[in-house]
Copies of this chain bind each other. A is one copy, B any other.
Amino acid sequence: MTESLSRRHFLSAAGAGAASVWIPRSTEVKGFTAAEMREQASGGRLAAGVSMWELDTPCLCVDLDALEGNLDRMQTTVARNGIASRPHAKTHKCPAIARMQLATGSVGICTAKISEAEVMFEHGIEQILMTTVNVTPPKIRRAMQLRKRCAGFIQAVDTAANARELSEAAKEAGVVADIVVDIDPGGHRTGITAGAPALELAKLVDTLPGLELKGMLCYDGGAQHVSGFAARKERALGSLEAAVGTKVQMERSGLDTGIFSGGGTGTYNIDHETPGLTDVQVGSYVFMDAQYLGIGGEENPEVYTDFQPALTVMTTVLNAQYEGRATTDAGAKANTINRPWPIVKGETGMSYTSGSDEFGSIRYEDNASRTYNVGDKLEVIVSHCDPVVNLYDQLYGIRGDTVEVVWPVAGRGKSI
C-alpha cells in the first residue's frame, strides 16, 4: 500500500496529531456548555483541567502544541531569512493569539477591517497595519480616532483622492497618519498599479500635511494557494517584481520605504527572495487548514507539512442508523462550504461534507478506520480557517485532550 496511498489518505494522516481519546457516552458525562466554559475560565485560563470531550458541540478547538510549533517554525524561518513577520489577525481574530505572535518576535499584526483593528487595540495590541483602504467618511473618521490613541496604527491608500481625504481627516483629528501605498500585484483586486501611478501616489502622500509615508504593501493572495513549491515560487516572485521596481524608484526619490510588506503562509519561505521585502503578512500558518495542506511544500510535494493542522471543529454524531454514513451536528453554519471539505482528524477511509446548513455528513469507504455511534464526538480539520473562525464566539485551547484556555474570538463578525 505504500506507493498507492491516496492524497486523501496523506491528508488524513497529516492530521493525526494527538491520539484520539473517546469519552464514554453516558449520562455520567457532565458536559459543559459554552457559557459554563467561559465562567470557568477566569481570565481565559482554566484553573482545573476539563476534558475536551466534555465540550458541547459544534465548537472550535486549537491544539496548543501545534499552534506553538507553528509560531516557532514561522519565526525561526523568517528570522533566518532576514525578514520579519507581521501576521494577519483576520485569520484568528483572537487578541490572545496576536499577543503570542508579538511575544515571539512578530513586528506587529495586520487587520483587514477597521473594526478588527479597533478590537485588537482595545485588547492591548499596539502595532497594527490595516491592509484594506478606508473609503467612507465614517470609517476614515474611525481610523483617525484609532490613530489618535494608537501610535503604531498604519493605514493603506491606493488612490490620490483617498489620500487627500485621509489627509483632511487626519488634520481634523489632530494627528499625522502613517501610510503605506497599496500596490496591485497584478490581480486588479486592490491596490494601485506599480510603477509611475504608485510612485506618483507615494510622492503625493509624502507631501500631504496630515500623512506620513512609511512604505508600501503588495499582497498577492492568489500566489498563496498555487500547488507545488516551484510553481508557487515563480508566481510569488514574478507578481512582486513590478513592486520591487517601484520601491527602487521611491528610494531614488528620497521617499520612505521602511515597510515593504507582502507574502503569506504559502510563500513565507520564498518572500525573502523578493528584494527589499521587509515582512510577511502570514495568517493561516497559526492554524493551517485543508486548503493549505493540499498545496504541497518544498520538502513534501504532496502535503504542505511545514505547519501542523491545529484548528478543528468538534462535532457530535446525531444519526448513525443508515448504512455507510452518519450525520453530525456541524454543517455549513459550523464549517462553511469551502473546499476541500473538512478532514476527519486521525481517521482514514471516510469523507466529511458540510453542504447542509445544520448537518455534517460522514460517508464511510470500505476501508474506513472506524464507524460512529449516535453521541460519539469527533474532530474535523477545518477546510479554510479564516471564515470558519469567523463563525465562533470562543476558541478552546487544548493541550493533549485537556482544555487549557478559553479565548474569546473578539474579532468575530467584525466585517465592517
A321 to B139, CA, bound (A): 20
**Is B189 a contact partner of A375 (Cβ separation < 8 A)?**
no
**Is A132 a contact partner of B318 (Cβ separation < 8 A)?**
yes
**Is A138 a contact partner of B359 (Cβ separation < 8 A)?**
no
Complex partner residue of A318 from B135, B161, B184, B387, CB under 8 angstroms? B135
A131 to B158, CA, bound (A): 50
A386 to B332, CA, bound (A): 10
As a 0/1 sequence over residues 167 to 198 of chain A, the CB contacts with chain B under 8 angstroms (1 = contact) are: 01100000000000000100011111100000
A159 to B191, CA, bound (A): 57
Instruction: Return chain B residues, CB-CB under 8 Å to A75.
Output: none
**Is B138 a contact partner of A322 (Cβ separation < 8 A)?**
no
**Is A135 a contact partner of B316 (Cβ separation < 8 A)?**
yes
A59 located at the interface, meaning its Cβ lies under 8 Å from any Cβ of chain B in the complex: yes
**Is B31 a contact partner of A138 (Cβ separation < 8 A)?**
yes
A361 located at the interface, meaning its Cβ lies under 8 Å from any Cβ of chain B in the complex: yes
Complex partner residue of A58 from B137, B316, B386, B415, CB under 8 angstroms? B415
As a 0/1 sequence over residues 313 to 330 of chain A, the CB contacts with chain B under 8 angstroms (1 = contact) are: 000111101100101011
Given contacts A322-B188, A356-B189, contact A375 B327 (CB under 8 A): no
How near does chain B come to A408, taking the closest CB pair, in angstroms?
12
**Is A142 a contact partner of B33 (Cβ separation < 8 A)?**
yes
Binds B, one of A3-11, A236-244, A333-341: A333-341
A57 located at the interface, meaning its Cβ lies under 8 Å from any Cβ of chain B in the complex: yes
Instruction: Return chain B residues, CB-CB under 8 Å to A330.
Output: 415
A412 to B393, CA, bound (A): 10
A195 to B412, CA, bound (A): 45
As a 0/1 sequence over residues 27 to 56 of chain A, the CB contacts with chain B under 8 angstroms (1 = contact) are: 101111110000000000000000000001
How near does chain B come to A244, taking the closest CB pair, in angstroms?
21
A391 located at the interface, meaning its Cβ lies under 8 Å from any Cβ of chain B in the complex: yes
A56 to B282, CA, bound (A): 28
**Is B416 a contact partner of A33 (Cβ separation < 8 A)?**
yes
**Is B190 a contact partner of A319 (Cβ separation < 8 A)?**
yes
Q: How many residues does chain A have at the interface if contact means C-beta atoms less than 8 Å apart?
A: 74
**Is A137 a contact partner of B333 (Cβ separation < 8 A)?**
no
Complex partner residue of A136 from B56, B361, B384, CB under 8 angstroms? B56
Who on chain B is nearest to A192 by CB? B321
Give the one of A59, A168, A325, A374 with max B CB within 10 A: A374
**Is B386 a contact partner of A357 (Cβ separation < 8 A)?**
yes
**Is B136 a contact partner of A375 (Cβ separation < 8 A)?**
yes
A165 located at the interface, meaning its Cβ lies under 8 Å from any Cβ of chain B in the complex: yes
How near does chain B come to A167, taking the closest CB pair, in angstroms?
12
Who on chain B is nearest to A27 by CB? B137
A274 located at the interface, meaning its Cβ lies under 8 Å from any Cβ of chain B in the complex: no
Given contacts A27-B168, A136-B31, contact A188 B325 (CB under 8 A): yes
Chain A contacts to B: CB under 8 angstroms: 25-27, 29-34, 56-59, 90, 112-113, 132-133, 135-139, 141-142, 158-159, 161-162, 165, 168-169, 184, 188-193, 221, 316-319, 321-322, 325, 327, 329-330, 332-334, 336-338, 356-359, 361, 374-375, 384, 386-387, 390-393, 412-413, 415-416
A-B contacts, 26 of them at CB < 8 A, read: A25-B136, A26-B137, A27-B137, A27-B169, A29-B136, A30-B137, A32-B138, A56-B138, A57-B416, A59-B416, A90-B357, A132-B318, A132-B358, A135-B318, A158-B319, A159-B321, A184-B322, A188-B325, A189-B361, A190-B327, A191-B319, A329-B415, A332-B336, A334-B415, A336-B336, A390-B391
CB-based closest 3 A-B pairs: A31-B138, A188-B322, A112-B358
14 more A-B contacts (CB under 8 A) besides A27-B169, A31-B139, A190-B327? A30-B138, A31-B136, A33-B416, A135-B316, A135-B318, A159-B374, A189-B319, A190-B318, A190-B359, A330-B415, A333-B387, A337-B337, A357-B386, A412-B413
